[in-house]
Structure 1
Amino acid sequence: MAREPRGSHEKRAPGDGDELSVPERLDLAVMGQRPTLNAAEVAAETGITIDQARRLWRALGFPEMGSERAFTEADVQAVSAVMSIVDSGTLDFDMAVNLTRGAGQTLARLADWEVSTLALRVEEIESGDEATGSRVSSALRLIEELTEPFELTLVYAWRRHLAAAVARMEAMGAVHDDLHTVDVTVGFADLVSFTALSNQLDRQQIGDLVEKFETRCQDVVSVHHGRIIKSLGDSVLFVLNDAVQGIEVAEGIIQVIGRDPRMPDVRVGLASGPVVPRLGDIFGPPVNLAARLTAVARRNRLIIDQATADLLPEDEFESRRLPARPVRGFGLVEPVAVRRR
């Protein structure tokens, strides 16, 4: 039977109550409620142990609050929703914590992304005709206008990606007995001399460069039915189900990054083989090898491993083994250069 919160707390709209500090005003605008509960009270209202409450809170990515009144009725409702899934037997508590951790890590990055974008918009507003004379007022207005439509977009995007992930799992199930392992082509694209370049740029220029790099890579990978697994500022890790599409993505990234005189040069490595998808990431030798191959590649060039070369149609591609060289973690490796016939 689903758990229901045993208590209720009055919601407070922004502007209610005593005079608030700027952080408190912004927090209230986002959450819609003032914190009135501590962790022990949340646990008591939802019928879970204090240890379970702490595990869920840590899984979301937040530090423990002890006896501090840092929680609202929304926290009670969220915990109750999670525990209703556990009580129904659909998931055990450890699985629920695992999914909570995934949501926490993903949404923390999304929130940082959103705030940095809104901060730029606030600066634009306050330097233009719509200026209010208060950055806080402009921020509060943006929060009020964007929260509901962005929530709808967030749920829509999650459902779309969930449907795509289920389809990938179903496709793997048709050819694999082990759904924990999948054969893919892994790509790694790395900006050349990014550290040295970043020392010459101001913070705004670095941010613009990284955003442009990630956006262009995302566009190229998406067009060829691939997925960006993660980005690390000056590099991106992507995965595809087909080696030919991997070549097309690599060529596309070199074209939109390396051939643009306003962007740094780029190196791309591809490796193919079995990987283990876990926690939104992928693990296995092809991941490490693709990253290592970028150190071997020349500027604005692609280097692949022999496994990827073996998957390419011989009538479309010509491959050439390069001299063996030491690759960290793999010993001596013979990288492969490839070109279209």
Structure 2
Amino acid sequence: MVDSIPEGARYTASEVAERTGVSLEQAKRLWRALGFPEAGDEAFYTEDDLVALTTLTDILATGIIDFDLAVNLTRGVGLTMARLSDWEVSAMVHHLEALGRLEERPAVKEVAAALTDEFNERFEGLITYAWRRHMSAALARLEASEAEDLGTTQVTVGFADIVSFTALSNTLTQEKIGDLVELFESRCADVIAVQQGRVIKSLGDSVLFVNDDPIRAYDTAEGIINVIGRDPRMPDVRLGLATGSVVTRLGDVFGPPVNMAARLTAVARRNRVIIDETTAAVLPPEQFETRRLPARPVRGFGIVEPVAVRRH
């Protein structure tokens, strides 16, 4: 049972399934994939809900994709839009607080008034533009890929990690923790974009990124250290880089280089870049000086010799 019935609810799940031409279980799977709670036998679904599911079933009817792929893609939309909505609302709350326009918490009316139809309509246009632009970039990366398996790609993976974040967060107020994380993520994202890399995900105290060019990946790591670790107002950071083949799924990347980059941050010194042997081998020696560090056990990889690196 859901907590509340949305305004304009008029259809039951069975009626939605009947009107969209799919089974009740299929309708429920698509609805769950969007990230919304199910209802029982009560009239819970609105006209907009029916239109959304009809759009999905119309796509299925073309034969371009099958039902399992539809659920997969729908889940991506649901996850992305849920995070974007939370991001948008929390950013607006922070903005209104800074302007002194929030007197009570939760200030739903004030936030809703700021997120007017006029604002959201324009923001919706931005979402569509960004999606199309990123789609073009994804297709370009696919075309440029030299991997035999189209699901894999050769990249340098970077992992940036705030040093002693747990201990640091215990000394800060919740507001300051939020400001720190936001500043960390935004500065990392700026540096990564400048070096033509991609942010894969952020985890509060860490950011995972990839770059097709290992030199640019190193420049990204150095850039993050410059804008965060060497800023006296910010905490220290550690960077790990690993190169190799990764699998791209659901907007994320998986494979040994991802795990290695994350593990290397545990052995990196503050405001330093540590790389694996593969990355060391592809960085031109006339530009970079590398130095093997003492061998040590790395979880999941056995005994590993990390490599310290710097530009000449």
Counterpart of 2:280?
309
Identity level (%): 60
1:142 to 101, 114, 117: 114
Counterpart of 2:267?
296
Counterpart of 2:226?
255
Alpha carbons 1:125, 1:138 under 8 Å: kept = no
Instruction: String of CA shifts for 1:229-258, please: whole Å, max 9, x gaps.
Output: 000000000000011011100000000010
Kindly state the Cα deviation for residue 139 of structure 1 after the two structures are TM-superposed. Answer: 2.6
* 1-structure distance, mates of 2:298, 2:242: 13
Kindly state the Cα deviation for residue 125 of structure 1 after the two structures are TM-superposed. Answer: 5.2
1:69 to 43, 51, 61: 43
Counterpart of 2:84?
110
Counterpart of 2:167?
196
Deviates more, 1:60-69 or 1:293-302: 60-69
Query: Secondary structure at the residue paired with 2:308?
Result: strand
Q: Does 1:151 align with 2:124?
A: yes
Q: So what's the TM-score if we normalise by structure 2?
A: 0.94
Deviates more, 1:311-320 or 1:213-222: 311-320
Instruction: String of CA shifts for 1:234-292, please: whole Å, max 9, x gaps.
Output: 00000000110111000000000100111110000000000000010000000000000
Q: Does 1:337 align with 2:308?
A: yes
Counterpart of 2:61?
87
Q: Specify the code of the residue in structure 2 equivalent to 1:51.
A: E
Gaps of 5+ in 1: 1-22
* 2-structure distance, mates of 1:35, 1:222: 43
Counterpart of 1:219?
190
Instruction: String of CA shifts for 1:122-150, please: whole Å, max 9, x gaps.
Output: 4345538xx99x94443332222321011
* 1-structure distance, mates of 2:264, 2:97: 42
Gaps of 5+ in 2: none
* 2-structure distance, mates of 1:125, 1:323: 53
Q: So what's the TM-score if we normalise by structure 1?
A: 0.86
Q: Specify the code of the residue in structure 1 equivalent to 2:296.
A: R
* 2-structure distance, mates of 1:50, 1:87: 17
Q: Does 1:56 align with 2:52?
A: no
Counterpart of 2:295?
324
Alpha carbons 1:122, 1:135 under 8 Å: kept = no
* 2-structure distance, mates of 1:330, 1:111: 39
How many residue pairs were aligned? 308
1:243 to 214, 224, 244: 214
Alpha carbons 2:246, 2:253 under 8 Å: kept = yes
